[in-house]
Structure 1
Amino acid sequence: MFKNITNITPGIVLALVFCLFSQGINNVIAIELFNTTKSPISTAMIAILLGIVMGNAFTPRPGMMLGLDFTQKYILKLGIIFLGIRLSFGEFIKFGTIAIPLIIVCILSVLILVKLLIKKVPISSRMSYLIAIGTSVCGATAIVATAPVINAKKTEVAYAIANITLFGVIAMLVYPYFAEWYFYGEPLKAGLFLGTAIHETSQVAAAGLIYDQQFNSPETLNVATVTKLIRNTFLVIMIPLFAFLYNRGNVKDKGYSILSIFPYFVIGFIGMIVVRNIGDQVFTVENSNFETWKNFIGYLKSLATVFLTMAMAAVGISININELKSMGYKPFVVGLITAITVGIVSIITLEIFFKTFLY
């Protein structure tokens, strides 16, 4: 136990240092260069870019990568769980009700598109399945969970993950500013777009955080997070479906288990919403402990931001540009088209949905 903690500590500390250094750079850019209270580049984006530069300029030691991997997997999820303290039940139900039909349309669109694309750009059916589920559901997690049930090769898994990483990072850095411009600062639309159009949970969290930090819109971060977490739960449906489609006629057990792929941090996120709402009922304005409760909420909000920024730094350090270069153009073409398509479908569906049902 103690040995494991010792092994992961250096990488976690490095991610925290990058987080603090990124905040320092953000302050310098804002105060010294622009003479404003807010930098045009968010802390989360600085952490990602700084991580990419440093991770490719200097090869992280294997021992350091243990802590960075832990930060990406667990500290990220803890940060997302803490985001639940920002929401009420009403907001969660409202955002979720709107998000589900958008998610379904985006998933179906990507599946149909990939099916058509592989006729024009020949790649293996396994690769097409991996890119499809990675783009439509939840990035690398979906790819790794799907690979065993369709007998994907290690090289196909690596290519698909590199593909998703490349286009997801681009979307993560570009889409917050695009969403502000296209949706005229409407937080609900911007959050739904970020939650449905970007691949990875970490990338959506980063994009939402960038949007919040740059345009002072915590609602957008909340909506994007809820949308992405609901989207993640579709793994429970999509992986058995892919297993059936790929292994039709083969009754052999592929070792699939819903329990092994269910994103449990979604439950933690909902649990934090429960804590917030119970606390608000107990600690009313008239209660002597109300200020303590408000400070506790503020502390968890700040901690969520720190954890997410640490995770973004770890993600940046872990991105190997040389590996992305070796991906090959055919999967690249499929990944590019599907990434663009899911963004376009998200926008079109949003416009139709809001004009039809909410206006």
Structure 2
Amino acid sequence: MAQVRNGQWWGGLALAVLVAFAAGYAAVWVGESVLGFAKSPISDIMMAIIIGMVIANTVTLPEGVRDGLRFCASTILRLGIMLLGIRLSLLGAGRFTLVALPFVVVAIGVGLITVRFLGQRLGLSRQLSGLIAVGTSICGATAIVATAPLIRAREAEVSYAIACITVFGLVAMFCYPYVGHWLFADQPAMAGLFLGTSIHETAQVAGAGMMYEAQYQSPVALDIATVTKLVRNLCMIAVIPLVGFLYASEGKAASDKRVSLWSMVPWFIIGFAAMSALRTVGDLGDRPFGFLAPEVWDGTVSWLRSAAEHFLLIAMAAVGLTSMFAGLREIGPRPFLLGMLAAALIGAVSLLMIATLAPTMFRLLGV
């Protein structure tokens, strides 16, 4: 709690809020005044990240300020994702989960196996290859940090893996919404499935889904992208022990450190399900919960949806403000190449499966 009382910590929080606020005006100005569109095609989310990245890489922010920004990029982000659950009933979230599960499992399996093979061909250690594999396949930095003790990865390997995941995840976050719309223009649910299976970090998936929703007025894309990413996050329970077995080298046997399976279940996934349950119960009957007026419940749902979007916008500003590229040259070309190949591979496998199998699954499950 000491850091919460620190003035610089609050300065970081205020900076993220300020950038998020400014991003809305900047998006309108660039789209309408600079580019000449009648309505700006640029989303607030995109501008928040870009403004944040410019500041982060031109101004040296104090460590206390960065602590506040990290709080926004982690806790505020997770609160926003939790509140997104109010958009879906349990039935809707369950259908999305059933659709997403086979695509997630195949993408993870392909990523883990092929990245190990590619890492060997590039002469990288099993540990570094494993960290890039799990970061690409499951949930970015969280999975990397959770896996590192199991395979006894060095601190430098953890840093390199996180840097690779960050770079290619940011590229995907900006590009994949447009790729998804180009390929699945009339099927936003398929575009959302693509975003959720192929982008690395939870924050990056949320950002891409919000860009798609803002750009193409399609909330279903954000909904299914979020659910798909949460399914990937839950796969840590099974996949991280498997990675410990596959990627620990003979000279560095897997750590005997006990890893709690419960600790691998992110609290915001439970919160998302709880909000979906709340929406389901509230929508039953003529009077929500037996005593609320319908207009009061509708207003509450609208307020929670708006709060989720504002939290995520602040989190995206913080993601930009913590994206530092000064150390990329230290990575070297081979880990960078492996990260690029892994990202491209997961994206290609996801696209192929979605294009061939998703229409049938959506039809069968009524999505």
Matches of 2:56 and 2:333, distance apart in 1: 24
The yes-or-no answer on 1:296 pairing with 2:297 is: no
Which residue in 2 is equivalent to 1:315? 319
Which residue in 1 is equivalent to 2:274? 271
Q: Which has the larger displacement, 115-124 or 329-338?
A: 115-124
Q: Which runs of 5+ in 2 are unaligned?
A: none
Q: Secondary structure of 1:57's match?
A: coil
Which residue in 2 is equivalent to 1:328? 332
Q: Which has the larger displacement, 193-202 or 237-246?
A: 237-246
8 Å contact from structure 1 (residues 38, 214) kept in 2? no
8 Å contact from structure 1 (residues 44, 210) kept in 2? yes
Change (3 A) 1:229 1:248: same
Q: TM-score, normalised by structure 2?
A: 0.92
**2:342 counterpart (338, 341, 359):** 338
Matches of 1:357 and 1:210, distance apart in 2: 25
Which residue in 1 is equivalent to 2:212? 211
Change (3 A) 1:103 1:288: closer
Q: Which has the larger displacement, 12-21 or 22-31?
A: 22-31
Within a 5 Å distance, the mapping from 1:18-57 to structure 2 comes to 18-33=19-34, 38-57=39-58
Tell me by how many angstroms 1:123 deviates: 0.4
Tell me by how many angstroms 1:115 deviates: 2.2
Tell me by how many angstroms 1:36 deviates: 6.0
Tell me by how many angstroms 1:37 deviates: 6.8
Which residue in 2 is equivalent to 1:138? 139
Aligned amino acid, residue 237 of structure 2: V
Aligned amino acid, residue 239 of structure 2: M
Which residue in 2 is equivalent to 1:113? 114
Aligned amino acid, residue 284 of structure 2: Q
Aligned amino acid, residue 326 of structure 1: E
8 Å contact from structure 2 (residues 205, 229) kept in 1? yes
Aligned amino acid, residue 47 of structure 1: A
The yes-or-no answer on 1:281 pairing with 2:289 is: no
- Residue identity over aligned pairs, in percent, reads 42
Which residue in 2 is equivalent to 1:83? 84
RMSD between aligned residues: 2.1
Give per-residue Cα distances to partners, 1:282-329, cap 9 Å, x unaligned: 564998721121111111111111111111111111111111232210
Give per-residue Cα distances to partners, 1:245-267, cap 9 Å, x unaligned: 34599686223221223212100
Q: How many residues align?
A: 359
Q: Which has the larger displacement, 330-339 or 36-45?
A: 36-45
Change (3 A) 1:18 1:271: same
Which residue in 1 is equivalent to 2:65? 64
Matches of 1:216 and 1:71, distance apart in 2: 26
Matches of 1:252 and 1:173, distance apart in 2: 37
Q: Which has the larger displacement, 193-202 or 349-358?
A: 349-358
Which residue in 2 is equivalent to 1:230? 231
Change (3 A) 1:190 1:252: closer
Which residue in 1 is equivalent to 2:99? 98
Change (3 A) 1:272 1:358: closer
The yes-or-no answer on 1:348 pairing with 2:352 is: yes
Which residue in 1 is equivalent to 2:11? 10
Tell me by how many angstroms 1:23 deviates: 0.9
8 Å contact from structure 1 (residues 15, 311) kept in 2? yes
Change (3 A) 1:266 1:252: closer
Change (3 A) 1:332 1:279: same
8 Å contact from structure 1 (residues 179, 185) kept in 2? no
Q: Which runs of 5+ in 1 are unaligned?
A: none
Which residue in 2 is equivalent to 1:167? 168
Matches of 1:341 and 1:114, distance apart in 2: 9
Matches of 1:54 and 1:303, distance apart in 2: 25
Matches of 2:23 and 2:229, distance apart in 1: 25
Give per-residue Cα distances to partners, 1:32-84, cap 9 Å, x unaligned: 45676742111001000110001111011111011101111100000000100
Q: Secondary structure of 2:124's match?
A: coil
8 Å contact from structure 2 (residues 126, 249) kept in 1? no
Q: Which has the larger displacement, 17-26 or 238-247?
A: 238-247
Q: Which has the larger displacement, 256-265 or 49-58?
A: 256-265
Tell me by how many angstroms 1:174 deviates: 0.4
Which residue in 2 is equivalent to 1:194? 195
Matches of 2:209 and 2:199, distance apart in 1: 11
Change (3 A) 1:5 1:78: farther
